[in-house]
């Protein structure tokens, strides 16, 4: 028998190393002012040399479990959304399972690039609906600093490292995940890629010499995709859930680029919502950006019970994923270990 599933805990982890715009600007031939004007980003976090994606993911998962007051042995599933895994195999989620001691959890990865967290959320929701009392950790984690050409201004200015997590479990009727919409435009897959290192173009001295293991992105093409796609996807997920746009109170988008989001936000029709941004000091953290921002907002106690929250991710593939939640009455843990900066765009 299916039952209602929702968020019962949130957590995030941002590496302690911070890289400001001055350092990035010196490497890319631009200025601090140019980066802020183009992206809204002032600094981003960098994983330490000993930290891999699984380390960040495990720290975020532990924070979510601690907030919910749940032991790791109670978790049924761990789903990690990442496009920067520790290794091609095994799945990064299996390492996270070991690191946090979730000995009873099945663990696997989802790769839908920056929309991966919302895709993973839908997968975990489907699994839990047929497992009464089950719990799932859904984690977005990326270490993009390891796949960037740090001299390329179109990508190096944007990305940071981090992880965010939610713990999903049973919530009262009428709360939790109310609807989701996942779409993919595979005909646009060339807009975002890491060209080498897979079965089509295996690693070789030539691919290394040609820089084909770096992340590449057609920035203008991505902007056009988001401008053309996001409004229709938001309209569709709300229509399917029979929710009026004016009833949404919180919009948590993928933190791709603050300037781009500022341009598209007024077109979405979410007149009573706040668009939450946490990218000024964290940058674009890939699949981690939505759960990190959600954790920022939650720990600031900005989410009231029954508030409608719309999550929207978009990224490589090209894919868009949207999830609508009626917020459940989660408990608050002790304040986060650091000040959690956030901006907001109001409807």
Reported as a single tens digit per residue, the pLDDT across 272-309 is 999 999 999 999 999 999 999 999 999 999 999 999 99
Has 218 been annotated as catalytic? no
Name the pLDDT band for 84 (thresholds 50, 70, 90).
very high
Q: Which residues contact 282 (CB under 8 A, 6 or more apart)?
A: 14, 43, 44, 45, 160, 162, 255, 289, 292
Q: Round to whole Å and give the CA distance between 127 and 169.
A: 11
Largest pairwise CA distance in the chain: 59
For domain 5-170, say whether CATH 3.30.230.10 is its number. Answer: no
**Domain range annotation of the chain:** 5-170, 176-346
Q: What is the DSSP letter of 150?
A: T
Question: 176-346 sits in which CATH class?
Answer: alpha beta
- CA-based radius of gyration for the chain: 19
Has 114 been annotated as catalytic? yes
In the predicted model, what is the mean pLDDT of the chain?
Answer: 93
Q: What is the mean pLDDT of residues 120-140?
A: 95
Do 5-170 and 176-346 share a fold? yes
Does residue 333 carry a pLDDT above 50? no
Has 125 been annotated as catalytic? no
**Residue in 250, 284, 298, 312 annotated catalytic:** 284
**Residue in 21, 114, 257, 298 annotated catalytic:** 114
Q: What is the mean pLDDT of residues 66-83?
A: 97
**Residue in 250, 254, 276, 281 annotated catalytic:** 254
Q: What are phi and psi of 123, to 5 degrees?
A: -60, -50
Indicate the range of 100-104, 284-288, 314-318 predicted with least confidence.
Answer: 314-318
pLDDT digits (tens, 9 = 90+) for 163-196: 999 999 999 999 999 999 999 999 999 999 999 9
């Amino acid at each position: 028998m299916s039952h209602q599933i929702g968020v019962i805990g949130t957590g995030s982890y941002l590496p302690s190393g911070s890289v400001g715009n001055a350092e990035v600007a010196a490497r890319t031939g631009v200025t601090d002012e140019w980066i802020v004007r183009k992206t809204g980003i002032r600094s981003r976090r960098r994983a330490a040399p000993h930290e891999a994606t699984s380390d960040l993911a495990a720290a975020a998962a532990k924070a979510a479990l601690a907030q919910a007051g749940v032991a790791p042995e109670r978790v049924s599933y761990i789903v990690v959304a990442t496009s920067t895994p520790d290794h091609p195999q095994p799945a990064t989620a299996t390492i996270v399972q070991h690191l946090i001691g979730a000995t009873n959890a099945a663990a696997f990865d989802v790769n839908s690039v920056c929309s991966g967290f919302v895709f993973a959320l839908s997968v975990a929701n489907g699994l839990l609906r047929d497992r009464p009392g089950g719990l799932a950790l859904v984690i977005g984690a990326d270490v993009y600093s390891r796949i960037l050409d740090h001299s390329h201004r179109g990508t190096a200015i944007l990305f940071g490292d981090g992880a965010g997590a939610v713990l999903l479990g049973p919530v009262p009727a009428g709360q939790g995940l109310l609807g989701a919409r996942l779409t993919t435009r595979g005909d646009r897959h060339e807009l975002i890629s890491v060209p080498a290192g897979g079965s089509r173009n295996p690693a070789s001295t030539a691919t290394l010499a040609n820089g084909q293991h770096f992340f590449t992105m057609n920035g203008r093409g991505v902007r056009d995709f988001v401008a053309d796609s996001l409004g229709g996807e938001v309209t569709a997920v709300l229509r399917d859930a029979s929710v009026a746009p004016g009833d949404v109170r919180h919009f948590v988008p993928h933190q791709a680029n603050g300037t781009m989001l500022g341009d598209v936000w007024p077109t979405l029709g979410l007149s009573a919502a706040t668009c939450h941004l946490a990218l000024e000091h964290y940058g674009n953290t890939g699949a981690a950006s939505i759960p990190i921002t959600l954790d920022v907002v939650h720990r600031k106690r900005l989410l009231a019970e029954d508030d409608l929250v719309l999550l929207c991710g978009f990224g490589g593939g090209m894919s868009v994923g949207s999830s609508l939640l009626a917020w459940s009455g989660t408990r608050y843990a002790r304040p986060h270990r650091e000040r959690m900066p956030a901006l907001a765009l109001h409807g």
